[in-house]
Amino acid sequence: MAWILALLLISAAPLPAQDHPQLHVIAFGAHPDDCDLRAGGLAAKYAAAGDLVKFVSLTNGDAGHYAEGGGPLAKRRRTEAMEAGRRIGIVYEVLDNHDGELMPTLAVRRQVIREIREWHADIVLAPRSNDYHPDHRNTGIVVQDAAYMVTVPDIVTDVPALRKNPVFLYYSDRFQRPQPFRPDIVVSIDDVYDKKIDMLDAHVSQFYEWLPWHDGILNQVPKDPEARKQWLRSQEPDAVPPEWLTSLKKSYGAQTASIRHAEAFEITEYGRQPSEAEIRKLFPFFPKKQ
Ligand SMILES: [Zn+2]
């Protein structure tokens, strides 16, 4: 129960002054770097504001390398994930399901229901179920399958059901069929962008070994830790995608033109449907309306 200890440590740390009720946010990914890529900036913003964030990887990542695998790789990736979480001040848990073999089974659904309930989540984040990777797809399905069940007391009876269904959000993605991602909520992460890069930098086995190897560019990765971090930064997009701008403008108005980095989310149909006023409470980062 390392996450309980981590939560206690985070809870014991002096919190930044909070101008809103503390929010509980939980994000699911298939692999120990998935949440980081899509919501690392958002998580860093919540953590800086004194809110509680947990990332959960549904697999242990034990197939994510070209020269390593199995138990030793799973251990390495868990250590990297813990470090990534530490760097932005959130809890990170890696479940011991095999990488590349995740199925939307009842057992995994129960794991997800427990996680959401134990975190008393206000917001749940997960991928959509349209994706090139079966683990990502199945993570999307299993979180959708939990979206109503977290409120049903006779399901997973050892953890009390939530009386209020959380808001469930999808991460952004580039898949077009059966329908493209819809950027309902777009958040500027310029203020925490360095922290996000720092978080990604903790996943050495992924961003400096496995993914560049898979893309055939392993020889481009600098050996020096500071140089490779700069290289990692150069690989990330340096502008907000044009299709997010309308939504960004709705929240940031005239500031939109100066925003360079953002993360976008789609409100799913399965959790609570928040009003505009509630979205502003759940995302206390937007400039006040004039
Ligand atoms: Zn992944």
CA of 30 to the centre of ligand 1 (A): 5
pLDDT of residue 3: 59
3-state SS record for 79-96? HHHHHHHHHHCCEEEEEE
φ/ψ of residue 174, rounded to 5: -110, 10
CA of 119 to the centre of ligand 1 (A): 23
Residue 288 pLDDT class (50, 70, 90 cuts): confident
CA of 15 to the centre of ligand 1 (A): 31
pLDDT at residue 250 above 70? yes
pLDDT at residue 83 above 80? yes
Positive or negative, the CA dihedral 47, 30, 148, 116 is: negative
Instruction: Indicate the pTM of the whole model.
Output: 0.94
Of all residues in the chain, what percent carry a pLDDT higher than 70? 94
pLDDT digits (tens, 9 = 90+) for 186-215: 999 999 999 999 999 999 999 999 999 999
CA of 38 to the centre of ligand 1 (A): 11
Distances in whole angstroms, Cα of residue 209 to Cα of each of 60, 63, 92, 200, 240:
17, 13, 22, 13, 27
Residue 24 β-bridge partners: 52
The stretch 162-175 carries a mean pLDDT of: 98
Euclidean distance between CA atoms 188 and 193, whole angstroms:
9
For 59, the enclosing helix (H) or strand (E) is strand 52-59
CA of 289 to the centre of ligand 1 (A): 37
Q: Please list, residue by residue across 256-278, b when 16 or more beta carbons sit within 10 angstroms of its beta carbon and e when fewer do.
A: beebebbbbbbbbeebeebeeee
CA of 178 to the centre of ligand 1 (A): 21
Residue 10 pLDDT class (50, 70, 90 cuts): low
pLDDT digits (tens, 9 = 90+) for 214-246: 999 999 999 999 999 999 999 999 899 999 999
pLDDT of residue 123: 98
Distances in whole angstroms, Cα of residue 43 to Cα of each of 27, 136, 250, 289:
9, 20, 21, 23
CA of 287 to the centre of ligand 1 (A): 33
First to last CA, the chain: 46
Residue 18 pLDDT class (50, 70, 90 cuts): confident
pLDDT of residue 119: 98
The stretch 76-82 carries a mean pLDDT of: 98
CA of 136 to the centre of ligand 1 (A): 6
- pLDDT, averaged across the chain: 95
CA of 113 to the centre of ligand 1 (A): 21
Whether 125 and 28 have beta carbons less than 8 Å apart is answered as yes
The stretch 1-11 carries a mean pLDDT of: 58
pLDDT of residue 289: 75
Residue 35 pLDDT class (50, 70, 90 cuts): very high
The stretch 61-78 carries a mean pLDDT of: 98
